[in-house]
Amino acid sequence: MAIVALPLALGFGVSSGLGAEAGLATAVVAEQLGYRPNSAARRLRRSSTGAVGLHLPQTATRLDYYMNLAFGAVQRAQEEGLDVVLLAPAGGASGPLSYRVDGLLVIDPEVGDSAVPGLLDAGVPVVTGERYLGPSPTPTGAVVCDNAASLTALLDHVRDRGARRPALLAPEGTSAWAQALRETAAGWGAAHGTEVTLHTVPFAATSTDTEVATRRLLATDPGIDAVLCAPDGAAPGALRAASDLGRTVGADLLVASCVDGAAHRGANPPVTAVDLRPADYGRACAALLCDILAGRAEPDTVRRHAWVLETRPSTTGPRS
């Protein structure tokens, strides 16, 4: 049977111009014709684009963490009938953007990202993944991880495993995550009477970057007995450096990561890491934005996202 395009105003409910019987008859005819409600037309009637925008850090395209997060956000948005538009890293957000999307997801917003203020002032609801540390405007809502607690757990773990001279390969940048790691390392060191050596690496450091940094750290201070890598996927570089320098990972040098991922699970030895559950995090960010758009959540809502510490042989001992 051919599918016939019915008028955009066709509805299946009872309206002032249709009695219940007429409405039922219309529904039956529509079903017989193979009609399905036109989602684009529905969005036009409610002045909605049916899409939300997603802004990731500029270096995110090569990081496993952000790709998993994006997939989670897309899946959750689709459950609400919304498409997700990935915004260009260098794109602005003033004016016309508010007509192209119903809301925005801004992940790990950095004070130094020139696009973020415009995104926050785009005239649509905005949910950030992690807090924005810059001046107003502020986002409509946020989903945050307790990054201080996760790094504290990681430092406590390596201390329990015998480490007394830990070092943190800390990310550069002005995100809430980067700041929390630096502040937590300093606070933990003060509380335990031992300095956590900080060495700055790029926000999206490669394993090569980490290898060079670890070599430099261990050459400068051979007493370092634990290296914690902040950037996603970078810890295998620390493993290579340790091996080349004759250190035994899991024994006289512990290696761990602040972000888990495939590179750490498949390393030799597998690397202890904080699993931030990025796909679930993306879903949580999209869920909050959907709830705000649908009136199920109030503006200024902040939700927490849980993390898990996964201990592996890089800190618990060599493989048997």
Residue-wise pLDDT tens digits, 286-306: 999 999 999 999 999 999 999
Residue 180, SS3 per DSSP: helix
Residue 190, SS3 per DSSP: helix
Over residues 27-53, the pLDDT tens digits come to 333 344 343 443 433 343 345 889 999
Would you say residue 25 has pLDDT above 70?
Answer: no
| Global confidence as pTM | 0.82
**Residue ranges with strand state E in 172-217:** 197-201
Which of 32, 34, 36 has its CA nearest to residue 10? 36
In the DSSP assignment, the letter for residue 62 is G
Over residues 196-208, the pLDDT tens digits come to 999 999 998 999 9
Which of 134, 145, 146, 158 has its CA nearest to residue 69? 145
| Spatial distance between the Cα atoms of 286 and 194, rounded to a whole number of angstroms | 41
Which of 20, 22, 24, 26 has its CA nearest to residue 7? 26
Would you say residue 20 has pLDDT above 80?
Answer: no
Of all residues in the chain, the percent with pLDDT exceeding 70 is 81
Angstrom distances, CA of residue 245 to CA of 177, 187, 212, 263, 320: 31, 30, 12, 21, 22
Residue owning tokens 């509380």: 191
Confidence of residue 90 (pLDDT cuts 50, 70, 90): low
pLDDT at position 125? 97
pLDDT at position 33? 39
Would you say residue 99 has pLDDT above 90?
Answer: no
Over residues 102-160, the pLDDT tens digits come to 999 999 999 989 999 999 999 999 999 999 999 878 999 999 999 999 999 999 999 99
pLDDT at position 14? 30
User: Would you list the DSSP string of 228-286?
Assistant: EE-STT-HHHHHHHHHHTT--BTTTBEEEESS--HHHHTSSSPPEEEE--HHHHHHHHH
Cβ neighbours around 238 below 10 Å, total: 31
Over residues 240-256, the pLDDT tens digits come to 999 999 999 999 999 99
Phi/psi at 6 (5° precision): -90, 160
Secondary structure element (H or E) that encloses residue 305, with its range: strand 301-305
